[in-house]
């Protein structure tokens, strides 16, 4: 028995993150040019604000290329969990999975989430209108992972 689930991501979201990141970086560059030319007062405050804005723009731009920003397919089988993403496949045995939690924000809401920590990665898998399927996967994986004795 195995369970398959695919999380679809929109290309427009990645593009908008990249555009906003580039705009923030351009604002930072322009602010630093005005600092160098001496057209601004409050030099230290402007430098701190511009630097923070630039780092945030760089963060947005770079994070639009991470593997969680693209479509991801999860396959839960008897052997382990197989994650298929844009940059290839990653497989985890149930010994490598440290924990799994099911997040239910409110009973009246239409979505549920599974949080899985495997190795250095943490996967947040959203389920919209699929409560039963989320619970089945949670029970399937939770029964197979190694529990740490405390």
pTM above 0.85, yes or no: no
Residues with Cβ within 8 Å of residue 55, at least 6 apart in sequence = none
- Average pLDDT of each block of 10 consecutive residues along the chain (150 residues)? 88 95 96 86 88 96 91 91 91 89 79 88 87 89 72
Say if residue 81 is exposed, middle or buried (CB neighbours under 10 Å; 0-12, 13-18, 19+). buried
Tell me the Cα Rg of the chain: 21
Q: Which of 92, 104, 70 is nearest to 141 (CA)?
A: 92
pLDDT at 147: 67
Q: For 3, left (φ over 0), alpha (ψ -120 to 50), or beta?
A: beta
Residues with Cβ within 8 Å of residue 5, at least 6 apart in sequence = 73, 74, 76, 125, 127, 133, 137
Q: Are 93 and 80 in contact (CB under 8 A)?
A: yes
Q: For the chain, which residues make up each domain, given as ranges?
A: 9-63, 70-142
pLDDT at 148: 55
Pairing of strands 80-85, 121-128: unpaired
Q: From CA 8, how far away is CA 12, in angstroms rounded?
A: 12
Pairing of strands 72-76, 97-103: unpaired
pLDDT at 19: 97
CATH fold group of domain 70-142:
PH-domain like (2.30.29)
pLDDT at 150: 44
pLDDT at 84: 92
Task: Return the residue matching tokens 């430098």.
Answer: 47
């Amino acid at each position: 028995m195995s369970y398959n689930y695919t999380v679809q991501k929109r290309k427009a979201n990645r593009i908008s993150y990249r555009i906003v990141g580039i705009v923030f970086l351009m604002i930072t560059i322009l602010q630093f040019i005005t600092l160098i030319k001496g057209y601004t007062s409050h030099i230290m405050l402007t430098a701190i604000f511009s630097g923070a804005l630039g780092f945030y723009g760089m963060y947005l731009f770079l994070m639009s290329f991470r593997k969680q920003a693209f479509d991801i397919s999860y396959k839960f089988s008897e052997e382990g969990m197989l994650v298929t993403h844009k940059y290839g496949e990653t497989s985890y045995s149930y010994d490598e999975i440290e924990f799994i939690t099911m997040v239910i924000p409110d009973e009246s809401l239409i979505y549920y989430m599974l949080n899985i920590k495997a190795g250095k990665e943490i996967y947040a898998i959203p389920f919209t209108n699929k409560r039963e399927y989320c619970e089945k996967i949670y029970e399937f994986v939770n029964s197979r992972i190694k529990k740490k004795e405390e």
